[in-house]
Amino acid sequence: MKQKNIDLLVDEAIKYLKKQSYSKISLYHYSRIWRKLLKYAHEKQTKYYSMEFGLEFFYHLTGLDATVKPNKRDLHKLRPLKVLNDLTHGNEIKRKYVFKKPVIPESFVEVLEQYRKYLLQKSQKERTIETKLSRIRIFLNYLERHSVQLLDVEFKTIANFYQFLSTEYATNGRSNIQFTLRDFLVFAERINVVKEGTSKLITTIYSNKHERLPSTYSVEEINKILSVIDRSTKYGKRDYTILLFAIQLGMRSSDICNLKLNGIHLEERRVTFRQEKTGITENLPITELMVYALGDYLKNSRPITESALLFVHMNANPNRGYTVTALYAIINKYMKKAEINITGKRHGIHAMRHSLSSNLIKSGTSLPVISGILGHSSTEITTRYLWMDTEQLRKLSLEVPYEE
């Protein structure tokens, strides 16, 4: 099967709908779902589209469990994903789709539920658990199609499954499934549903961590993005402050959305927050520029509200915070206005995090220091940025000049 880059696939889908004279309302609905899909794909570092990934995103978007049948409203969110699947396989785009929830072979339902409970006991997040379960379903459905029970799994079974994966998934997708499968088989050995030593059938897992290199932007491009923000308006003050957290501190979208007022210490020039991804509490210094921007936002832009969040909506509901999708829209608005070339590159908040780390490395900052700034669990994660083919930078991203 020929794989298609997810960004290019969405562009192709939009052109197709326009060619078929879909209404403006329909185009808006499809594009809205696809924008959220692209944001999710960028966060997951998924380059190619598959219906399995589409369903993973669907359950993430709707908050549904795979065993629950979606209502009519949720089904409307599924159709754009099936359109992408048809385009991927060169199939005719249907006007109506019937939802078919992922089938879990009856003989494997119990062990899959036990694995879910095992992951919960390890304090893994629900979203992580659902992702892992979706990967194991791929393996269990494969066993069902070939009439193989877990106790009968042998080297040949694994080898043939690997061959199947090579025709359906990109390198990173295959390795993710293999890592999860090995963990599942270790668990399955403990509860005696597979033969002892089955997990050892999965030895070295080849994953090209550099297959999807992070996208970075130069200091000049980042300054250009900041320069087009109209800071005379309350919305501009908010957007400018949000982007500084991403550009100067390399914070993730989710962490920016969850920032609390009591975590901002202007006099001490630091910000304290708990990383959603790792659960680690960070205490980072903020620059003079950020102190000015925060003061301006708090005094002249942030609405009066009882919310504990730093960034809240400025119109209908000031008690409501922002979503990662909203932040994605904010940065893309200014990248477009600044005429930044994003061809073939990711262009969300996370790209600013990549830019910061890459720029710090180019400037000679040590990996342990960068890992500390970004909250990486190890320097091994940070070393992937050493492979970036970016221009030599003259300054750190932290040194973004303040314009009066």
Is there a contact between 248 and 356 (Cβ–Cβ < 8 Å)? yes
For 399, the token pair is 């040194």
Q: Domain limits of the chain?
A: 6-89, 106-201, 219-399
pLDDT attached to residue 400: 41
Is there a contact between 211 and 48 (Cβ–Cβ < 8 Å)? no
What's the residue count for the chain?
A: 404
Fold match flag (106-201 vs 219-399): no
Cβ-based burial of 340 (10 A; exposed 0-12, middle 13-18, buried ≥19): buried
CB atoms within 10 A of CB 334: 19
Distance of CA 280 to the CA centre of its chain: 19
pLDDT attached to residue 375: 58
CA-atom Rg of the chain in angstroms: 23
Q: Which fold has domain 106-201?
A: DNA polymerase; domain 1 (1.10.150)
Among 269, 262, 260, 267, smallest CA distance to 287 is for 269
177 contacts: CB under 8 Å, gap ≥ 6: 135, 138, 139, 165, 169
* Range 219-399 classified under CATH 1.10.3720.10: no
For 106, the token pair is 């009856």
Amino acid of residue 397: S
404 residues of the chain, pLDDT tens digit each? 456 788 889 999 898 888 888 888 888 889 999 999 998 888 777 888 888 788 888 877 876 655 556 676 777 888 889 888 888 887 777 655 444 555 677 889 999 999 999 999 988 877 788 888 988 998 998 999 899 999 999 999 998 998 888 776 766 678 888 999 999 999 999 999 999 999 998 876 765 544 444 578 888 898 899 999 999 999 999 999 999 999 888 888 889 999 999 999 999 999 999 888 777 788 888 888 899 999 999 999 999 898 999 999 887 677 888 888 788 889 989 999 999 988 767 788 888 887 776 666 565 655 555 555 565 544 444 444 443 433 333 333 333 444 44
Among 207, 150, 160, 155, smallest CA distance to 179 is for 207
Of the CA atoms within 13 Å of residue 56, those in its CB half-sphere come to: 23
Q: What is the pTM of this model?
A: 0.52
Is there a contact between 340 and 223 (Cβ–Cβ < 8 Å)? no
pLDDT attached to residue 64: 65
Among 345, 364, 356, 341, smallest CA distance to 221 is for 341
Among 268, 257, 262, 334, smallest CA distance to 298 is for 262
For 6, phi then psi, to 5°, come to -65, -35
Please tell me the distance from the alpha carbon of residue 23 to that of residue 315, in angstroms, as a whole number. 29
pLDDT attached to residue 51: 82
DSSP code at position 48: B
For 183, the token pair is 């963990």
Is there a contact between 47 and 212 (Cβ–Cβ < 8 Å)? yes
